[in-house]
Amino acid sequence: MARSRIAAFLLMMCLLSLSAMVLGQARRPMTFEDLMKMRRLGDIAVSPDGRWVMFSATDVDLGKNTRTSHLWIVPTAGGEGRALTASLAGESRGRFSPEGKQVLFESTRDGGQQIWLADFNTAAGTIGEPHKLISLSTETDGATWSPDGKQILFVSAVYPDCNDDGCNKKRDEEKAESKVKAQVFTHLLYRHWNAFTGDKRSHLFLVSVDGGAPRDLNPGDEHEVPPFSLGGPDGYGFSPDGKEIAFEENLDTVPAISTNSDIFTLRLDDPNAKPVKISTAAGGDHSPAYSPDGKYIAWRSQERAGYESDKFRLVIYDRATKQIKEPLPNFDRWVDEFAWSPDSQRIYFTSGDKGEEPIFVATLNGKHLELLDQGEFGDIHPLSDGKTVVLSQMTARRPAEVMKVNYEWHESECGTECPGGRGFAEALTHLNDAILNELDLSKLESFWFPSIGKVQVQGFLIKPPGFDASKKYPVKFLIHGGPQGAWGDSWSYRWNAELFAANGYVVVMVNPRGSTGYGQAFVDGVNGDWGGKPYVDLMRGLDYAEAHYPFIDKGRECALGASYGGYMTNWILGHTTRFRCIVTHDGMFNPESAYGTTEELWFNEWEFKGTPWTNRLMYRKWSPMLAETNFKTPTLVVHSQLDYRLDVSEGYQLFTTLQRMNVPSKMLYFPDEGHWVLKPLNSQLWYKTVNDWVDEWTK
């Protein structure tokens, strides 16, 4: 860790301690209500003159069971942040116009989500009275300004055979009024994530800032443009001259077995132009972004078809030569988010590394790669001064804030990764200081241990509030999902490690084979080996923690996991009795039935090396269900009706088996949630039920 970062951290801790002393308050454990009171940072935008940062922040009203986002603004130079909008419906995705005199945002303040525009006072940092730009029955999403500020690009889900909004509206009204709600499926991926896909497809549209009918840029297209995404960078963008766009699209015949989204360009100045495919990889290509000088398009690319967790490489397309180059072929980490420098000479990016998400900067030829700062960063916005980046940062002890990183650029060519840590992160927002100053939140501690195959594996530990080294504490052993995910120095509202520790537990987390941030070979280590080496890694990690942290009571441990973590807790249920209890959330119980009820078939076919009829032995080898005669550990099963990644039937099968085997068990069922529990009151019930179950068996 850089000395500047250590100094900043120590200063922050001193200020927090001083604040608590001044208030005369002792720090206390965090509660669920504290978690819900915290303001949640959304996306960030920087004004063209670099003076202002606009961002969205979500407030939770637990009593009303609502989450509402509003736009805020803060000076880039530092100062007090303030709310920019305050309608009851809320606003999100604020964007400055290219000349900085207007902002757009999306809001449901007048019915469905639409694009709104407002004048922006660049001196005062305030907006005028907003007006709605467009009223589409199919609503709008992902709005972005054209470079000249005269048009707006956005996404809307429409019926491909409809030529105007009147047709879409009529079709929706007919469906709503029909007494027959049956559906006919003729293709796979008929449902996805938490909804049935239906007949609509997302298309890109262009509309004038003066209003009028929007132009469908993908008329008649039966594919999603851009493809479904859970968040992250946009799958489309303008060229600097505004005459072209680049976007993602997957044209494969069966999208349920394909990850091959490609990058296409489309000329906007020719009404007869057709999309041109420019990517060549067999795997996914994502997040196209033009360089400010218009010479290049960069995107994240994967080489292997059908593998959603292949290495995300940075590639650069030369628009003149039509050649694609990879500037960092030896960089053995994923490129997650990236942004061009204003002079088009460098690319800033974040990348998962050993439980953090540090920020790097690289030259286009890849000869200079520099680590700017360690931490958990995202949403990158380089400023025109060439030495400042506005972005978000979080830790395990603090939700995301808007930060400013100042750094010194060094032109020397290092050949590989240059010495890093030259950046200094400064907080521009303090969204939750008032709450955090009251709380006793323990520092995340890292440890390493040897595992099978002479591989070093990383784990993390959080001590309970008011920790006393002379005492023994029960353990919550958290297992992450993915499996291509990772624990680290980050904040979560769904699985918050600090909140799990708050009622007197040591929290232990291990990043086994399959975890990101340790090189692609480590990521690939879970493929076809779901209950093998990853299971050994987890057990050896807990063994190490028990041996090296004497305050752990190894007789009072509970294993908790969701998604792949749910699968692994199901696997643990049949392969060890070391735990006093288990919590399994949305986990795979029967891989063969899970294949037939999931939607993203590429995932199961990659991870289990084929289909059940071409590789049945693999599906059965790693089936938790087939170890059912060994089930003895008290288990809480959590599953949701709208989870189409791991169908609710997986939870039903497990709970039925546990009950018939006379294993102490309980099932928490949500009829209105998907793979994640998101509604505030449902989340409250989830945390209470989970923590009560663990308390029942470990305390």
Q: What is the tens place of the pLDDT at every residue in 603-620? A: 999 999 999 999 999 999
Rounded Cα–Cα distance for residues 103 and 84 (Å): 11
**Residues with Cβ within 8 Å of residue 130, at least 6 apart in sequence:** 85, 105, 107, 116, 117, 118
Which residues contact residue 558 at a Cβ distance below 8 angstroms, ignoring those fewer than 6 apart? 474, 475, 476, 477, 579, 580, 581, 582, 583, 693, 694, 697, 698
**Contact residues for 148 (Cβ-Cβ < 8 A; gap 6+):** 98, 242
- From 601, 696, 598, 587, select the one nearest 652 (Cα to Cα): 587
Low-confidence ranges of the chain (pLDDT < 50): 1-24, 415-416, 419-421
- C-alpha 194, offset from chain centre: 16
| Cis ω for the linkage preceding 483 (within 30 of 0) | yes
Tokens found for residue 77? 């130079």
Query: Domain residue spans in the chain?
Result: 1-30+327-438, 232-323, 445-698
Contact (Cβ atoms closer than 8 angstroms) between residue 81 and residue 39: no
Pair of tokens at residue 617: 């032995």
- The number of beta carbons lying within 10 Å of the beta carbon of residue 232 is 13
CA 364-366-372 angle, 5° bins: 90
- Cis, bond preceding 226 (omega within 30 deg of 0): yes
Structure tokens at 319: 């628009």
Residue 416 pLDDT: 47
CA dist., res. 414 & res. 426, Å (int): 27
Evaluate whether 567 touches 624 at the Cβ level (below 8 Å).
yes
> Which pLDDT does position 232 carry in this prediction?
85
Q: Cα separation of 6 and 295, whole Å?
A: 39
Task: Report the alpha-carbon distance of residue 414 to residue 370 in Å, rounded.
Answer: 9
Please tell me the distance from the alpha carbon of residue 645 to that of residue 674, in angstroms, as a whole number. Answer: 9
Per DSSP, 502 falls in state T
User: Measured on CA atoms in the order 194, 198, 203, 206, is the torsion positive or negative?
Assistant: negative
Q: Name 59's bridge partners.
A: 68
User: Which CATH architecture describes the domain 445-698?
Assistant: 3-Layer(aba) Sandwich (3.40)
CA distances, 553 to each of 33, 115, 449, 506, 580 (Å): 28, 55, 20, 9, 11
d(CA 378, CA 350): 7
**CA-closest candidate to residue 560, choices 404, 415, 691:** 691
Residue 24 makes CB contacts below 8 A (sequence gap 6+) with none
φ/ψ of residue 433, rounded to 5: -55, -40
Give residue for tokens 């680049």.
246
- The answer to whether the Cα torsion of 435, 436, 442, 445 is positive or negative is positive
Query: pLDDT tens digit string along 85-144?
Result: 989 999 999 999 999 999 999 999 998 999 999 999 999 999 999 999 999 999 999 999
Residue 618's pLDDT is 98
Residue matched to tokens 């591989």:
455
Q: Which residues contact 83 (CB under 8 A, 6 or more apart)?
A: 70, 71, 72
Q: Which of 589, 621, 592 is nearest to 604 (CA)?
A: 592
How far apart CA 490 and CA 355 sit, in angstroms, is 8
CA atoms of 445 and 510, how far apart (whole Å): 12
Determine the pLDDT at residue 2: 40
Q: What is the largest CA-CA distance in the chain?
A: 76
Strand partners, 323: 318
Q: Let me know: does 668 contact 636? Beta carbons within 8 Å.
A: yes
For 286, counting Cβ atoms within 10 Å of its Cβ (0-12 exposed, 13-18 middle, 19+ buried), the class is: buried
Residue 64 burial (CB count, 10 A) = 10
**Cα 609 from chain centroid (whole Å):** 26
Range 411-417, long-range pairs (CB < 8 A, 24+ positions): 411/368, 412/368, 413/367, 413/368, 414/367, 414/368, 414/369, 414/370, 415/367, 416/330, 416/369, 417/331, 417/369, 417/370, 417/371
Query: What secondary structure does DSSP assign to 125-192, as a single string?
Result: TEE---EE----TT--EEEEE-TTSSEEEEEEEE-TT--SHHHHHHHHHHHHH-S-------SS-SEE
Beta strands in 19-138 (DSSP E): 40-46, 52-61, 66-75, 82-83, 91-96, 102-107, 114-121, 126-127, 131-132
Q: What is the pLDDT of residue 199?
A: 96
**Cβ count within 10 A of residue 236:** 25
Residue where the block lists tokens 């960078």:
233
